[in-house]
Amino acid sequence: MSEQMESAWFVVQTQVNAEAKAARNLVQQGFEIYLPRYLKRRSHARKIEQIAAPLFPRYLFVRIDMATQRWRAIQSTFGVSHLVLNGTDPARVGQQVLGLLKAREDDSGFVKLDRKPKFALGEKVRVLAGAFAENFGLFDGLADRDRVAILLDLLGRKVRVSLEAEMVAAA
């Protein structure tokens, strides 16, 4: 068999917040890894920034050639919690799964996520945080990439308010 036929992709569960550490250590051992990441919006101390975050927290993909590589060494790699198993053997991941993920990457290597509204127009929503916390309103569309517009009943009339998408949930 060719090298391409004998090697396959598998899933590794990492320790908490140790995806990069596990990836580094697996690469040093000669394994090929794939850690899909996306740009996450984070607001901290009145500042909003984009940070790289793993698409699947605590998980990464590793290519193993079962004929030549000692896959059991992965279990004791720093940063790795364990190799995901199917019984006693590592659980394979189809090449098409990784192909679909890689096809969604932009030029910088970050996976682009769909920005679809979570709610239907006119659906009742509840504000989770901020000045309007615990108020109910109606979903009125997307304000921009990361914000939603809702209609709140304030002082006897409907007021259109733009909030961060994470601050709104279905009522």
Please write the tens of the pLDDT for every residue from 21-31. 999 999 999 99
Given this model, what pLDDT does residue 153 score? 85
- What's the pLDDT at 147? 80
Q: What is the pLDDT of residues 138-170, one digit of tens each?
A: 998 887 666 888 999 887 788 898 888 878 888
d(CA 31, CA 28): 7
**Domain CATH code at residue 140:** 2.30.30.30
Q: Which residue has the higher pLDDT, 81 or 133?
A: 81
CB 62 within 8 A of CB 10: yes
What is the mean pLDDT of the segment spanning 9-16?
Answer: 96
| DSSP type of residue 31 | -
pLDDT reported for residue 10: 96
Q: For residue 142, what are its two tokens?
A: 């997307």
One domain, residues 79 and 134: no
Q: Which two tokens stand for residue 106?
A: 């932009």
In this predicted structure, the answer to whether residue 46 has a pLDDT above a threshold of 80 is no
Closest CA to 92 of 64, 68, 111, 112: 64
pLDDT at 3: 44
Helix (H) or strand (E) holding 24: helix 19-28
Say how many C-beta atoms besides its own lie within 10 A of residue 116's C-beta. 6
pLDDT of amino acid 48: 73
Verify that 165 and 91 share a domain, yes or no: no
* Global confidence as pTM: 0.68
Q: Do 129 and 96 share a structural domain?
A: no
Would you say residue 61 lies in a domain?
Answer: yes
Q: Given a cut of 60, is residue 5 above it in pLDDT?
A: no
Residues 158 and 97 in one domain: no
**Better-scored residue on pLDDT, 124 or 43:** 124
CA 63 to chain centroid, in Å, comes to 20
Specify whether 83 is located in the same domain as 28. Answer: yes
Q: Is 110 a member of any domain?
A: no
The answer to whether residue 18 sits within a structural domain is: yes
One domain, residues 15 and 95: yes
- CB-CB contact of 140 with 150 (8 Å): yes
Q: Which domain holds residue 31?
A: 7-103
Last-in-domain residue among 70, 103, 136: 103
Q: What is the tens place of the pLDDT at every residue in 82-139?
A: 999 988 889 899 989 999 999 999 999 999 877 666 788 889 999 888 788 888 999 9
The beta-strand segments (E) located in 55-123 are: 59-65, 80-83, 85-86, 89-90, 92-93
Question: Could you tell me if residue 39 is inside a domain?
Answer: yes
In-domain check, residue 111: no
On whether residue 118 sits in a domain, the answer given is no
Total domain count, the chain: 2
Which CATH number belongs to the domain containing residue 90 in this structure? 3.30.70.940
Residue type, 134: E
Residue 25 sits in the same domain as residue 97: yes
> What's the first-to-final CA gap in the chain, in angstroms?
57
Q: Where does 45-135 show beta strands of DSSP type E?
A: 47-54, 59-65, 80-83, 85-86, 89-90, 92-93, 124-127
